[in-house]
Amino acid sequence: MPAMEVTDEQVLADTRHWIEKAVIGLNLCPFARSVYVKNQVRIVVSRARHADAFLDDLDRELELLRNTPADEVDTTLLVHPTLFPDFFVFNDFLDVVDDVVAEHELEGVIQVASFHPDFQFEGVEADDISNATNRAPYPTLHLLREDSVSRAVESEGGDAQAIVERNIRTLRELGPEGWKNLLSKP
């Protein structure tokens, strides 16, 4: 199904499937399971027709996180299924996203992790399985509370780089075919 025809319900279902099978299933994010099972993960589908409107959506989500207790909404995934089909355009846009976080005076409070179907680490070949650590069904901004990230890293021994390395090992063991099978739907 072309991306333009994907409904919000399908985007939400695909995103939840990815969270449950990959992010939680492979333990790629150490704190995802606890907030997900407590319904503290907000998933928002943006239908902004241009980057400025998408930034308005980002503004709203940052304000919501600022004004909502973590035990109600700990983290937000802002997903746009069509606006950023090119990973490198999306990646360049992240500089603007960082500026928006700063404008809201949320540096050190909220951090943004990015996910894209074609995510590619700098200096890594496009088909390297390690890129899958940041691949999601749709371009996604993950708005995380710094306090939650710090607690998660501490619970994993306090070494964020060790988590990254473990994730890459997990994906290398799984391999491209295993990754594809993991995300396939019955």
Q: State the residue range of the domain holding 175.
A: 3-183
Q: What angle do CA 181, 45, 104 make, to 5 degrees?
A: 120
pLDDT in tens, 96-106: 999 999 999 99
**Number of domains present in the structure of the chain:** 1
Pairing of strands 110-115, 140-145: antiparallel
pLDDT of the residue at 164:
85
pLDDT in tens, 126-135: 999 999 999 9
- Indicate the average pLDDT of the chain: 93
pTM here? 0.93
pLDDT band at 148 (very low <50, low <70, confident <90, very high): confident
Q: Is the pLDDT reported for residue 2 higher than 50? A: no
